[in-house]
Chains A and B, each alone.
Chain A
Amino acid sequence: MGSLDSYLPIFLMTVLGVVFAALSFIASRLLAPQRPTAAKEAPYECGIVPTHEPARRFPVRFYLIAMIFIIFDIEIIFLFPWAVVFRELKTFGLVEILVFAAAVFISFVYLISNGALDWGPIKRVRPISTVQVRTSRSTVQRVGPSSGEAA
């Protein structure tokens, strides 16, 4: 066994946690009433009878986020052993990790500038004004005999 010995208490805790949850569920089964009705079992929609099936497809952005996360997670996992032996590696370790970080950073910048990490609906901007030169003519409406309209 050797180095795996120190995982023994973790294994015991797993067993204890599972047993605790299982016993709670069994106790609840014994103590709680079991009178299901159609109304109780229907999906919760704030009292309205649901008309649509819940969507089984999500916006693709969520998958994109998951994939981008994997890049970073792998980077972090590589950083841990590096951090432990950094004092021994000295300059080599620093230069190496700078190159590594730069490689990840470039792809990160590419992702951001391509809008891969933008969220939510695109916000409407105001339409381009067709009159771009502002003069007293275009902004002030004159009233009186000198103007085109009747006062």
Chain B
Amino acid sequence: MPDPLFAHGVGLAVILIAVVKVVAIFAVLLVTVMMMIWVERKVISDMQNRIGPNRAGPFGILQSLADGIKLFFKEDLLPERADRIIFKLAPYLTLVPAFLIFTVVPVGGIVTIAGHAVELQVADPPMGILFLLALSSVSVYGTMLAGWSSGSKYPLLGSVRASAQMISYEAAMGLSVVAVVLQTHTLSTRGIVLAQAPHFWKWGVFTTGIIPFVIFWIAGTAELNRPPFDLVEGEQELVGGFNTEYSSIRFAMFYLAEFMNMVTMSAIMVTLFFGGPDGPGFHFLRWLWPILWFAGKTGVFLYVYVWIRAALPRLRYDQLMDVGWKTLIPLSLGWLLVIAGADLHVGWLFGVLGGVILAGLVLSQALNVSRRRRELEAETAGRGRVTRVAEQIRLRALAAASTAASASSSSAASTDEGGER
């Protein structure tokens, strides 16, 4: 179903409505992000037995605003070794996708304004999901170029880590989104939300069997570079990560984008797996209830992000890559095939399930092989292949010889020790 706003051509009223929607969402996003920064600091400090920001405004609620204003007055430094154009371009590449991803998220139901049916979401393109995935890929560029153009050691390391991490988890994320599309048969975000109404057991989290949701959640946290996946800005190793060299308002833009992505990721999870604005309403103020439901569900996820940050320690980089590639990707692919089989026929369900379990065994065998290869390499590290093989043969011969020697010595010893061994 296309966007009903544009069903009868584009007139002045339609453009006005579109502008109002864009400006409203823009303002709401900015305010939400400011509040979110405050909430995160306040909740984290509560969990750590601290008071947290409490000076600017009641309960310190204006702290982020004060920080933002302060950053306007701070000197904007351009490192001498920086690639100037790209250094200045990178904040745009991070901030603009952050705003754009939220445009396809349905925040409410459908209302009628001046005779036009208006969906309470900025845009409803027929391929909303693909748009969403495309933009989450684009935001890698901002991180990558920011670190690369800084001309400094730590930002470079941070950005290379970040891009490898983000693309690794994007695959698992995409596969879990396919599971939702499989159940809803549409790529439009509004269509996905409508397919999950009106009962909560039709929500994506239940129709896809929870596992895609869990995978999406983990992968989403990794995409955001949030703890426990925040190796990108591991303070002990990399100072501040890719944005170390950024100061003043340029730094504020990265910070803003980071929190905006967090809000957007929660909103996307609500859209894909929890029915978006779906929920019981009442007869008065019909348009308001879906918005409240949407905001409430998103708020729960935002709180959980803060909670995770307070609770979990950071992963090691090889663990991070192992979780992404060797667990999440095969699991999400296998589960997708299983629910496709279940959709078709019970016989197919068991057939596919058997195949997937078989594939899992093959995979664990492959992991074993790779582990043994590494052990072999570790024993003979730093040498060429020929010497390595020769070394292996020598070591084995040595081991065999020593076995034989100790066996003979122990049998010789057994005469005076009473037949031990």
Contact = CB atoms under 8 A, between A and B. Distances in A.
Contacts of A8: 6, 10, 15, 18, 123
Interface in B133-153: 150-153
A48 B153 CA distance: 12
Interface residues of A, number: 89
Contacts of A138: 406, 410
B178 A113 contact: no
7 contacts: A33-B75, A41-B78, A66-B164, A109-B362, A109-B366, A115-B374, A135-B410
Contact of B100 (A17, A28, A69, A80): A17
A104 to B, nearest CB: 8
Contacts, number: 291
Contact of A76 (B151, B171, B253, B341): B171
Contacts of A3: 2, 126
Given A16-B99, A58-B160, A112-B363, A79 B175 contact: yes
A112 B326 CA distance: 8
Interface of A is mostly: helix
B102 to A, nearest CB: 8
B105 to A, nearest CB: 12
Contacts of B333: 101, 104-105
A145 interface: no
Given A76-B178, A79-B336, A125-B379, A42 B80 contact: yes
Contact of A44 (B22, B152, B316): B152
B178 A83 contact: yes
B126 A14 contact: no
Interface of B: 2-3, 5-6, 10, 15, 18-19, 21-23, 25-26, 71-81, 88, 91-92, 95-96, 99-100, 103-104, 122-126, 129-131, 150-154, 156, 160, 163-164, 167-168, 170-171, 174-175, 178-179, 181-182, 185-187, 239, 244-245, 248-250, 252-253, 316-318, 321-322, 325-326, 329-330, 333, 336-337, 340-341, 343-344, 348, 352, 355, 359, 362-363, 365-367, 369-370, 373-375, 377-379, 381, 395, 398-399, 402-403, 406-407, 409-410, 413, 417, 420-421
